[in-house]
Amino acid sequence: MEIMYVMIALSLLMAIGFLMAFVWSIKSGQQEDLITPGMRILTEEIDYPKLNKPL
């Protein structure tokens, strides 16, 4: 049963890893805007040649 100690430690470490990833994703603002990126795909940049001088 000694193997259990190793496995518990590993499983906790993995779970903590995911928890850290979650906290990081929140703090870096990845969950702040869940709408725009999806829309952005549909209007992907097509590089038109610049015709006129800007304003």
Partner 1 sequence: MHVTETEEMDIITETTCFHCHEACPDEIVHYDEKEFCCHGCKQVYQLLADNSLDEYYVCDVNPGKAPSAQNFEFLNNSHFQAQLISFSSQGVAKVNFHLPAIHCRSCLYLLENLQKLHAGIVKTTLNFGKKDLTVWFQEDEINLGQLATLLASLGYEPLISTDEMQAEKRKQLSQQTQLFIKLGIAGFCAGNAMLFSFPEYLGIEDGSLKHLFGYLNIALGSLAVFYSGSDYFKNVWAHIKLRKMTIELPILLGILVGYGRSVYEVFSHTGAGYMDSVSGLIFFLLIGKWFQQKSFDFLSFERNYKAYFPLVISKLEHGVEANYPLDELKIGDHLIIRNQELIPADAILISGISQMDYSFVTGESEPISIASGNSIYAGGRHTGERIEIEIKKELKQSHLTQLWEQQAFKDPLHKTENWENFANQVGWYFTVGLISVAIIVGIFWLINDPTRWSNAVVSVLVIACPCALAISYPFALGHGIRWLAKRNLFVKDIQAFERMAQVDTLVFDKTGTLTLPSTQKPVEHLRRELSTLEWEALRSLAVQSTHPMSRQFVNYANKQGQLASLALSHFVEKTGKGLEGMVSGIEFRIGNARYTGHQTPKDNDFIRSESQLYLQINGIAVGYIEFPWAYRDGIECMIHHLQGHYRVFLLSGDKKEHAVSLLDWFPDPSTYQFDCSPMDKMRFIQSLQDKGHKVAMVGDGLNDAGALRQAQVGIAISDDHLHFTPASDAILKGSQIAQLPHYLAFARFGLKLIKFSFMLSLVYNGIGLSYAIQGNLSPLIAAILMPVNSISMLLIANLGMNWKGSRLKS
Indicate whether 6 belongs to the interface with partner 1 (CB under 8 A): no
Q: Are 1 and 7 in contact (CB under 8 A)?
A: no
Q: Which two tokens stand for residue 31?
A: 């969950």
The answer to whether 33 contacts partner 1 (rule: CB under 8 A) is yes
**DSSP string covering 1-55:** -HHHHHHHHHHHHHHHHHHHHHHHHHHTTTTS-SSHHHHHHHT----PPP-SPP-
13 binds partner 1 (CB under 8 A): no
Q: Which of 3, 6, 13, 35 binds partner 1 (CB under 8 A)?
A: 35
10 near partner 1 (CB under 8 A): no
Binding site for partner 1 (CB under 8 A): 1, 4-5, 8, 11-12, 15-16, 18-19, 22-23, 26-27, 31-36, 39-40, 42-43, 45-46, 48-52, 54-55
